[in-house]
Amino acid sequence: MLHSRVLRYIDEVARSGSIRAAADRLNVAASAINKHVLQLEQVIGAPLFERLPRGLRLTPAGEILLAHIRRTLREYSEVEAEIRDLTTLESGEVIVATMNGLAGGIVPKAAALFAGRHPRIRITIRVMARTDIVAAVAAGEADLGLAFNLPAHAALETVAAFDARLGAVVSPAHPLAGQDSVTLAACLAHPLIFPDRRMVMHDLIAGSFTAAGLTAEPAFQTNSIEAMKQIAASGDGIVFLSRFDVAEDIRRGLLVHLPVRDGDFAWNVLHVVCRERRVRGLGVEMFCGDLVRVVGLV
């Protein structure tokens, strides 16, 4: 590190209260340390230490510089640790807790991107309910979580949040597929595919129809995102999902995602959460970065 020797000299002199004591602790000649202190004072243009009969005491300028030195040394130690941690990227595991729709598209895409650079790290994808995702990441049973509308938790950091409001998802052959956007009233003319009542999305969607003064009677209900997508892709049904749920299906030309014009239809937020930075490893940090980049491109 540039000037690391000088920074450590100043730090030790401040701790020891004398150049001789610092020299003994560092196993360096006292004259060498004194020379560097004098040179640094000349460059800065102010004394760093008061020379007292019983030792040295920091001046105000010295206190400012020492705070910078210790911050620099601490940050450099963290960098050294991260560089050493690069060796851990030769093995290990990253556990991702997510929802079933996301587990079928975005997460595998990010995992494939990461595995291309770090093939010896195993990526484990676990499908869980929303509240279980928060509990698993907070407890260290999963390294990061990707899900919609995650509640805040003191032990978790929200790494990223994306607008994920729901839209009408139809097959490319659907009568509405060629439109730029649709209304809920127009959707009523086609079979509706709703999430199971136990899913959070059910209330989001049903509540939006009610707020628009419309009565929606779904032709299909299921707690499987994959089943919803398959039904929509196979006929004239309409399912209401976010663009993140169907990103891979859109890329393959199997489904079309249409914004809904009725106000703030089915507001939704996609969260990426991890435990606090100080307790997550480099592999998790790097995979999290890949995941956020993949989500951001959708």
CATH number at 46 reads 1.10.10.10
Give the model's pLDDT for residue 76.
Answer: 78
Do residues 81 and 98 share a domain? no
Give the model's pLDDT for residue 81.
Answer: 61
Do residues 40 and 185 share a domain? no
Q: What is the pTM of this model?
A: 0.65
d(CA 245, CA 226): 9
Give the model's pLDDT for residue 236.
Answer: 93
Residue 65, H or E segment: helix 60-85
Residue 266 placed within a domain:
no
d(CA 210, CA 90): 53
Among residues 188, 181, 178, 201, the alpha carbon closest in space to that of 263 is found at 181
Residue 210 domain boundaries = 167-258
For residue 240, which amino acid is it? Answer: F
Do residues 250 and 202 share a domain? yes
The total of structural domains in the chain comes to: 3
Tell me the two tokens of residue 287. 């995979």
Residues of the chain below pLDDT 70: 1-3, 78, 80-91, 277-280
What CATH number corresponds to the domain at position 127? Answer: 3.40.190.10
Residue 271 placed within a domain:
no
Give the model's pLDDT for residue 1.
Answer: 47
Cα–chain center distance at 68: 29
Among residues 11, 1, 10, the alpha carbon closest in space to that of 43 is found at 10
Q: In the β-sheet with 256-258, what is the strand arrangement from edge to edge?
A: 220-222, 192-195, 238-241, 167-170, 256-258
Q: Helices 30-44 and 19-26 sit at what angle, rounded to 10 degrees?
A: 120
Residue 12 placed within a domain:
yes
Instruction: Report residue 252: phi and psi, to 5°.
Output: -85, 0
